[in-house]
Amino acid sequence: MKAVKIGLLGLGTVGTGVISVLKRNADEIARRAGSEITVVAAAVRDLSKPRDIDSSGIRITDDPMSVVNDPEIDIVVELIGGDGVALDGVNKALENGKHVVTANKALIALHGNEIFKTARSKGLVVAFESAVAGGIPIIKSIREGLSANRIEWLAGIINGTSNYILTQMTEGGRNFDDVLAEAQALGYAEADPAFDIEGTDAAHKLTILASIAFGISLQFDKVYQEGITNISSEDITYAQKFGYRIKHLGLARRTDRGIELRVHPTLIPEQKLIANVNDVMNAVLVQGDAVGPTLYYGAGAGSEPTASSVVADLVDVVRTITTDPENRVPHLAFQPDTLSDLAILPIEEIDTAYYLRMGVINRPGVLAAITEIFGNKGISIETISQKENGDGKEDGEDKVSIILLTHNTKEGHLCDAIKQIEQLDTVYGSVTRLRVETLS
Ligand code: NDP
Ligand code: HSE
């Protein structure tokens, strides 16, 4: 069979990884795909930028449309990011009858419903394995490997940059900004790293995972989102004292009232495998009704780990070029006309446990006032502890931190309790609140 021709949009961290992997493993990849895969063109923004790749035989251009309009090209691989030029390029590629592979989770989470509709109407593939958890084949595992199961919940560390930062803060006692700069230099972070540290990237990925797990359309706007910017080394230390690690987690859970979709920093018992997933590694725990829990682990970002998933998609697409279009795997795992309209629960309806830290004046009756508020809201306290060494003085009186863990309660009840606690004249500053997940 003649070589399948590829056009790349973007030759940055992931694009250069794709070229390297395709060149290094060319023979083996051709044997798997049933055809050679040749990159013939690549679009970049800055033609003068030096690139550490063997670009022989590749036409490099600063005009992405010249790639998607090139009749010689069979598959367009979008590795620019965002939903500007990338969205235009993908739409045009589909309009031109080309299959698409993309690593762009923002594009899929925000525009996937329309993109897949167009692709279906044209009998084209849009593959996006690398968009979630970098090198881990999590899309394929859920969409195909677990297709016998009713997925009950999934939880994952799905942002490599955040995990890198939290790990370095926990184990190396390092400063947030220094570690973020390092993650950027290593090519892990998004073009705008606020997407990583504020939870948006994880929310994009959770949107995709939830669709594939539960058979619902992509609904990014319904994901509750918190990032890691408010995590202090103090909270990391207290969490460790209680036997927990703080991880940034994406959680999607089916309940009888609807679906929980949330990304936020979470306390996880330290003996859980997922609590020990460190640095740029990602892990996704999936609970299926037949298989039980399954755990997927691997590099969540970086040049070649991500290229591993991009190239796997390319191999799949090359295989489907010769396959009956009716028998392809649906984009969101379920047949498009069978997507359900299960409700996504508002965050106030979420049921979980909490870690709370609050600064108080060390005066008799403070604890009683706080526990009374919890009691009135029906919130039960699992552990309560007072920092041994004071936090200094407030109006001449001693300040201390109180740290407590609650049992499961409704988020709405907890928010009400926090509001009342923050109004007590013995409590100063705002209450730090982190959710706790035992993942059992
Ligand atoms: P980079 O910023 O390293 O690369 C982006 C590439 O796109 C660059 O080559 C850039 O050109 C090119 N580009 C940007 N704007 C234009 C434009 N207007 N016209 C033509 N080319 C353009 O990003 P990454 O490789 O890190 O990420 C690419 C995609 O992969 C993103 O969607 C990201 O979310 C996703 N992803 C990234 C992972 C990672 O570990 N980095 C992991 C998983 C997914 P130039 O080089 O000239 O600046
Ligand atoms: N910025 C992303 C991360 C890249 O850190 O996980 C991989 O999707």
Residue 326: its pLDDT value, please?
65
Task: Report residue 320's pLDDT band, with 50, 70 and 90 as the boundaries.
Answer: confident
CA distance 248 to 207: 16
For this structure, is 399 an active site residue? no
CA distance 350 to 57: 54
- Tell me which of 108, 136, 159 to substitute to probe ligand 2's pocket, judged by most ligand atoms within 8 Å of the beta carbon: 159
Task: Report residue 396's pLDDT band, with 50, 70 and 90 as the boundaries.
Answer: confident
Measured at the CA of 11, the angle between CA 5 and CA 14, to 5 degrees, comes to: 95
Task: Provide CB contacts within 8 A for 40, sequence distance 6+.
Answer: 5, 6, 7, 57, 58, 59, 70, 72, 73
Residue 327: its pLDDT value, please?
62
- Which one of the listed residues 105, 205, 247, 377 is annotated catalytic? 205
Report CA(81)–ligand 1 centroid distance (Å).
5
7 lines ligand 1 (CB under 6 A): no
200 lines ligand 1 (CB under 6 A): no
Measured at the CA of 302, the angle between CA 202 and CA 264, to 5 degrees, comes to: 20
Residue 193: its pLDDT value, please?
98
Amino acid identity of residue 273, one-letter, is L
**pTM for the predicted model, two decimal places:** 0.92
Q: What ligand 2 atom has the least distance to the C-alpha of 195?
A: 1
44 lines ligand 1 (CB under 6 A): yes
- Residue of the nearest CA to atom 26 in ligand 1? 13
- Tell me which of 196, 209, 281 to substitute to probe ligand 2's pocket, judged by most ligand atoms within 8 Å of the beta carbon: 196
Q: What ligand 2 atom has the least distance to the C-alpha of 202?
A: 6
Q: Which two tokens stand for residue 3?
A: 């070589």
Q: Which ligand is nearest to the CA of 190?
A: 2
- Residue of the nearest CA to atom 7 in ligand 2? 301
Q: Among 46, 47, 37, which residue's Cα sits nearest to residue 73?
A: 37
Domains and CATH numbers, the chain: 4-135+303-335 (3.40.50.720), 138-299 (3.30.360.10), 348-436 (3.30.70.260)
Q: Is the pLDDT confidence value at 328 over 80? A: no
189 lines ligand 2 (CB under 6 A): yes
Question: Cβ atoms within 10 A of the Cβ of 196, count?
Answer: 27
Render 331-393 in DSSP notation, one character per residue. Answer: TTSS-GGG---PPBPPGGG-EEEEEEEEEEE--TTHHHHHHHHHHHTTPPEEEEEE-SS--EE
Tell me the pLDDT tens digit for each residue of 168-212. Answer: 999 989 999 999 999 999 999 999 999 999 999 999 999 999 999
- CB-CB contact of 206 with 261 (8 Å): yes
Q: Which ligand is nearest to the CA of 61?
A: 1
Tell me the pLDDT tens digit for each residue of 258-297. Answer: 999 999 999 999 999 999 999 999 999 999 999 999 999 9
Beta strands in 10-81 (DSSP E): 37-43, 59-61, 75-78
- Cα 100 vs. chain centroid, distance in angstroms? 21
- Residue of the nearest CA to atom 12 in ligand 1? 10
50 lines ligand 1 (CB under 6 A): no
- Residue of the nearest CA to atom 4 in ligand 2? 301
Residue 417: its pLDDT value, please?
98
